[in-house]
Amino acid sequence: VIRLGGFPIAAHPGSPKPELSWSDWTLPIGGVEWLNADSEWRDESRWTLTKALLTYPARRTETLTTLLDRPESVIERWDTLTRDRPVVAIAGTDAHARLGLRSLSEPYGPGASLHVPSYERLFRVFANVLPGISLTGDAAADADLVIAAIRRGHVYTAIDGLHGTGTLSFTATDGSTRAEPGDVVSSLREWTLNIELGGPADALIQLFRDGVRTNESSMRMKHMIDIGSRGAYRVEVSLPGAPGQPPIPWLLSNPIYVGDRPSSATSAPLPRASKFEVRYSDGPATGWTIAASPASKAALDVVPMERGTQLALRYAIGGAASE
């Protein structure tokens, strides 16, 4: 993915379903889903899901929000990764718009299914906020803006189901330079962290350094970082009465990285492209040999396309009868 210019993000890394969870944390992923809605609902009891189905018609967004928890193990893993290099955290809705009647939490279980929750309601539960991005209405240009902001870590998550309106500004300045979440700044300067919140008066702002909470305040916060105080600094904002065990944070930022550290592997120069020999370019399929066992069959067809032709391999694999 990186070689082709992509940005790999570990999806649903903490899923209770083993085949969906992420296992190889040594790979140079560029980001991680700190929150995944599909994972959040899979760990709920059958009684909780049944109760949610009963309250969903009248309180749809609120009901979905009550199923969220703070995914401790995923956040801890993310904090560990950011001690060495930038890793972007985003939230993923992982929408399916269906629940199997037998398992409830399994979207594609056998048998009949309920087509809930709807995509619209899922998208109202939480969002990835890109501060400073103004969409132009041009789909291609806007896509580039959004992807570039996510790759830089200029994004924070807001749980809209807890409080629909609110803003978070988290910056660092040394008097002449201003840094945003996702940026890497030198530890050889004295930095001031500025956290400004637009939201309820009872919101609690928490500052974390390398995953350890260092400060909390209900007011606008300024925190001086002395020279040499390396670390990944990020913010969580919590609201009283938030659901979950432990409670889900209302807002969660990406870190500002103080101290020189390697760039994300996804921003490194791409390897030199490999050279490939063209073995077919339109025309008849000459010079090709198909090897197959006596019980198997295969054929090579020349298929017309809008421009020229391409080869298509048809095959049937033989085997022993099942006992």
- Amino acid identity of residue 53, one-letter, is L
Full DSSP string of 91-146:
EE------EETTTSS-TT-SS-EE--S-HHHHHTT-EEE-TT----S-HHHHHHHH
The number of CA neighbours under 13 Å toward the Cβ of 228 is 0
**How do residues 293-317 score in pLDDT, each as one tens digit?**
888 999 999 998 877 888 999 999 8
Q: Specify the DSSP element, H or E, that contains 195.
A: strand 191-198
CA distance 146 to 130: 8
Q: Specify the DSSP element, H or E, that contains 55.
A: helix 46-55
Q: Choose between 89 and 176: higher pLDDT.
A: 89
Percentage helix, strand, coil for the chain under 3-state DSSP, each rounded to 5: 15, 30, 55
Compute CA distances 71 → 67, 244, 251, whole Å.
12, 9, 14
Q: Choose between 7 and 219: higher pLDDT.
A: 7
CA distance 195 to 223: 9
**Mean pLDDT in residue range 122-134:** 93
User: Given a cut of 90, is residue 292 above it in pLDDT?
Assistant: no
- Which 3 state secondary structure label does DSSP give 51? helix
User: Given a cut of 50, is residue 125 above it in pLDDT?
Assistant: yes
Q: How confident is the model at residue 106 (pLDDT cuts 50, 70, 90)?
A: low
Strand 31-36 relative to strand 9-10: parallel, antiparallel, unpaired?
A: parallel
CA distance 26 to 16: 21
**Site of tokens 């296992």:** 23
Q: How confident is the model at residue 75 (pLDDT cuts 50, 70, 90)?
A: very high
User: Given a cut of 90, is residue 206 above it in pLDDT?
Assistant: yes
